[in-house]
Amino acid sequence: MDGLSFTTFLKLTLMPSTQGKLNALHRMMSSSDGYDFYKRLKNAAREVAFDPTKANEVFAALATIKKDAERSHNVLMAKRFLNWWNEQAGAKPSKERPAGRYKTPEMAFDIRLNPELVYEKDGTTFVTYLWATKLPRLARQTAASGLLMLRKELGKGIYSKAKFQILDLRQELVHTEAIVTNLAEDHLKADIALVNAIWVSAKPLAA
């Protein structure tokens, strides 16, 4: 298993029980490859950002998804993305996006960082992750830990002055770095330590 995606890591930290986290990791490690429920949404969001006039075409393509739940969730989230994007007057999407892997020496895994959208607005670069997961809900503290991770790993070079944010399409709000407090570092370390311990425990079960 090739580490964890940013979204999967946050979902694990949000799960209420350690056993639930262990079961989820065990399933991931036992599978030959993962399945991104919202992959079509992420592609659709970028396409709509570059050309909003293609929205109906993009929504029609999403409507061809065979599984009912996957289709309805992806279409709903895509429409919410379009509503939000239409409010970003003057925003210009960029084809270039930062990417990286977050890993500290004590971690047995790494976290893949691949933000879905980068855009320029009023002279500022915004690096945006999309959150479409229904459950667990994205908590403010977890979002802050995630934003800190993005800043530490991706806020370099041309993105050193960029603003990182998480667009929560479920709750229809944007988490910005303004929510990152002095406690975010401790919260991030605690989340990593817990997932790391579960990762080490789950590894033998998946062998």
pLDDT tens digits, residue range 125-155? Answer: 999 999 999 999 999 999 999 999 999 999 9
Residue with tokens 């479409």: 132
The confidence band for 201, taking pLDDT boundaries of 50, 70 and 90, is confident
Q: Judge if pTM exceeds 0.85.
A: yes
Residues shown for the chain: 207
SS3 111: strand
**What per-residue confidence (pLDDT) applies to 35?**
57
Rounded to the nearest integer, the mean pLDDT of the chain is: 94
Q: Which amino acid is at 30?
A: S
CA dist., res. 153 & res. 112, Å (int): 10
Alpha helix stretches (DSSP H) within the chain: 6-14, 18-30, 39-50, 55-62, 68-86, 140-154, 184-206
From CA 62, how far away is CA 88, in angstroms rounded? Answer: 23
